[in-house]
């Protein structure tokens, strides 16, 4: 059933209303990653010396160039981790727009819902982002002792956290906070697996640009299915 929800989301990539949110989301994601990269380059430019004098070798003048090229590799590796918090930010910024596009196509019988107040959405997003970053920082300790299992642990942890957040925000639109939490607790295993399905491709460059929008759509379908189709 999880794959059915995901397949429905992929099939809607040709929907122009869906594409508008998709392209805007991709542009914002790329801008965010480049912004972080630009800030990192600026830091290198400020801190790195113009020349470095090494005994018996002489002056080296290409330190900044080396660090600049090395920073590209560093950012590619860092994007492996950055896309998880970027995806979490999409729950607040785009989930409502994606959910509306999904409902217009697949659940036209449902009445319109009021948009969740921005302050409430922002508070939930920041709280979740803090939880996500804190949990991953603690997990690095575990990764150090279990390096061979680090990818599996990373996907399991972030799959749980992303599934929890995406599903709850999707379900809240029609069930309210209390109803969404109750439904999430009832189906937490399936929601966890769906979160892992999203967390794995989030670590694949280029592919990960599509996942936040597809995740929002997938969990909208899941919320409808698990709630029995809210009228």
Token digits of residue 160: 């749980």
Rounded to whole angstroms, the Cα distance separating 42 from 230 reads 50
How many other C-beta atoms can be found within 10 angstroms of the C-beta atom of residue 230? 15
What does the pLDDT read at residue 150?
86
Residue 231 lies in a domain: no
- Give the gyration radius of the chain's Cα atoms: 21
Asked if 71 contacts 41 with a C-beta cutoff of 8 angstroms, the reply is yes
What does the pLDDT read at residue 45?
61
Rounded to whole angstroms, the Cα distance separating 224 from 211 reads 20
What does the pLDDT read at residue 59?
46
Number of domains forming the structure of the chain = 1
Give the position of tokens 């109750």: 182
Asked if 88 contacts 129 with a C-beta cutoff of 8 angstroms, the reply is yes
Question: What average pLDDT does range 80-96 have in this prediction?
Answer: 72
Res. 64: pLDDT tops 70:
no
What does the pLDDT read at residue 58?
41
Give the position of tokens 């995740």: 215
Rounded to whole angstroms, the Cα distance separating 67 from 6 reads 41
Question: What average pLDDT does range 71-78 have in this prediction?
Answer: 62
Q: What is the dihedral of CA 139, 190, 129, 32, to 10 degrees?
A: 100
- The set of residues, in sequence order, having a beta carbon less than 8 Å from that of 156 and lying 6+ positions away, is 196
Higher pLDDT, 66 or 128: 128
- By C-alpha distance, which of 162, 163, 139 is closest to 150? 139
Domain range spanning residue 221? 2-226
Which tens digits make up the pLDDT trace of 10-41? 998 888 877 887 787 778 777 777 776 677 66
Confidence grade of residue 67 (pLDDT, cut at 50, 70, 90): low
What does the pLDDT read at residue 27?
80
Asked if 67 contacts 44 with a C-beta cutoff of 8 angstroms, the reply is yes
Res. 66: pLDDT tops 50:
no
Q: Which residues of 154-178 are buried (b: 16+ CB within 10 A; e: fewer)?
A: bbbbbbbbbbbbbbbbbbbbbbeee
Question: What average pLDDT does range 122-142 have in this prediction?
Answer: 82
| pTM value > 0.85 | no
Token digits of residue 116: 């969740």
Res. 182: pLDDT tops 80:
yes
- By C-alpha distance, which of 222, 227, 226, 200 is closest to 211? 200
Average pLDDT, the chain: 79
Give the position of tokens 């597809």: 214
What does the pLDDT read at residue 85?
74
């Amino acid at each position: 059933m999880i794959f059915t929800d995901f397949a429905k989301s992929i099939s809607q990539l040709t929907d122009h209303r869906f594409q508008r949110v998709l392209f805007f989301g991709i542009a914002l994601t790329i801008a965010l990653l480049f912004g972080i990269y630009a800030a990192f380059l600026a830091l290198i430019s400020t801190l790195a010396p113009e020349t470095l004098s090494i005994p018996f070798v002489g002056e080296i003048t290409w330190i900044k160039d080396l660090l600049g090229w090395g920073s590209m590799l560093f950012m590619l590796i860092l994007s492996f981790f950055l896309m998880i918090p970027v995806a979490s930010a999409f729950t607040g910024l785009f989930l409502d727009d994606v959910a509306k596009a999904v409902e217009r196509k697949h659940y036209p019988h449902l009445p319109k819902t009021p948009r969740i107040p921005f302050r409430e959405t922002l508070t939930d997003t920041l709280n979740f982002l803090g939880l996500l970053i804190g949990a991953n920082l603690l997990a690095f300790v575990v990764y150090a002792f279990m390096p061979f299992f680090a990818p599996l642990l990373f996907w399991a942890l972030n799959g749980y956290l992303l599934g929890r957040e995406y599903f709850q925000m999707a379900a809240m639109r029609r069930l309210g906070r209390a109803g969404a939490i109750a439904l999430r607790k009832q189906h937490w295993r399936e929601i966890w697996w769906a979160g892992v399905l999203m967390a794995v491709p989030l670590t694949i460059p280029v592919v990960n640009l599509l996942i936040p929008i597809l995740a929002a759509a997938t969990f909208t379908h899941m919320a409808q299915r698990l709630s029995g189709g809210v009228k």
